[in-house]
Amino acid sequence: MSRPPRFAVRVRLWLLVLAGIAACARSPARADDLEPHAAPVPDTDEAVTTRKEILQTIMDVQRKYGADAVLLEGHLMGHAIRGGSILETAVSIPGVEDRDGKRFLAFKVETGIVYNDREMSATARPAHAWSEVVEASLRKFKSMSVPADGVVFLVGYTHKPYTDEADLRAHLDEGRGDPEALAFYLLLSDISELLADHITAQQLVDRSTVLVNGASSHLVLTVPTPTIPATKD
């Protein structure tokens, strides 16, 4: 069972418009930051309308939270898709959240990933989501600026036992798995130290608040740190 065509079109449109906003916000070379490149989308009435809606949303985000917030949304979506999303992928910014006297700009990421309980333990799932989606997106920056003390990533996925991807797709109608919700509260000052290679990803996580289904958790990273070159000036 393949991903619905409408979803595929919306993903391609999202990446295309993000590339255009990035290019306008910084320089023509910035469009290359949001890989993979999307295939051209036919200019149907639906495609044009969707493109305009997405463009307006992105422009609103840029005005309110800055260019880095727009770029981070794009990287989060791209890495969720590359991380193996089967269900629909969505990224949004709910707003600013106050916690422990600090303000965190929230990024909500519905990854669309269904982890296989036969291959991945309960403790390994959050580590994979961190490394494959969150840290991989952070590593695309050399520095980060948002109008808050930090960022919080609200990451969602599901998990269930299945044989392989074909088996999973064939039985999605019977159940998409049990949902799991993560929250990573990261201070910008700590992110800066990670991006400058002054601390490791494990040290960043240890300095941060991590919640799994609302409960405080100590995350032990078992997935290697992504070797993704930083691209932000």
pLDDT tens-digit readout, 76-119: 999 999 999 999 999 999 999 999 999 999 999 999 999 999 99
Is residue 136 a part of any domain in this protein?
Answer: yes
- For residue 24, tell me if it sits in a domain: no
For tokens 């036969």, name the residue: 118
Does pTM top 0.95 for this prediction?
A: no
Q: Quick one: pLDDT band at residue 36, thresholds 50, 70, 90?
A: very low
In a domain, 8, yes or no: no
Number of independent structural domains in the chain: 1
Q: With respect to residue 21, please indicate whether it lies within any of the assigned structural domains.
A: no
Residue 224 lies in a domain: no
Above pLDDT 90, what percent of the chain? Answer: 65
Strand 102-116 and strand 150-160: pairing?
parallel
pLDDT for 130 equals: 97
pLDDT at 53: 76
Which pLDDT tens digit goes with each residue over 38-76?
444 455 666 566 677 778 888 888 999 999 999 999 999
Q: For residue 79, is it within any domain? A: yes
Task: Let me know if residue 81 belongs to a domain.
Answer: yes
> What residues have CB less than 8 Å from 113, skipping those under 6 apart?
80, 83, 84, 85, 86, 87, 129, 157, 158
Amino acid identity, residue 56?
A: Q
* Domain that includes residue 103, residue range: 66-216
- pLDDT tens per residue, range 203-221: 999 999 999 999 999 999 9
| Residue 18 counted as domain residue | no
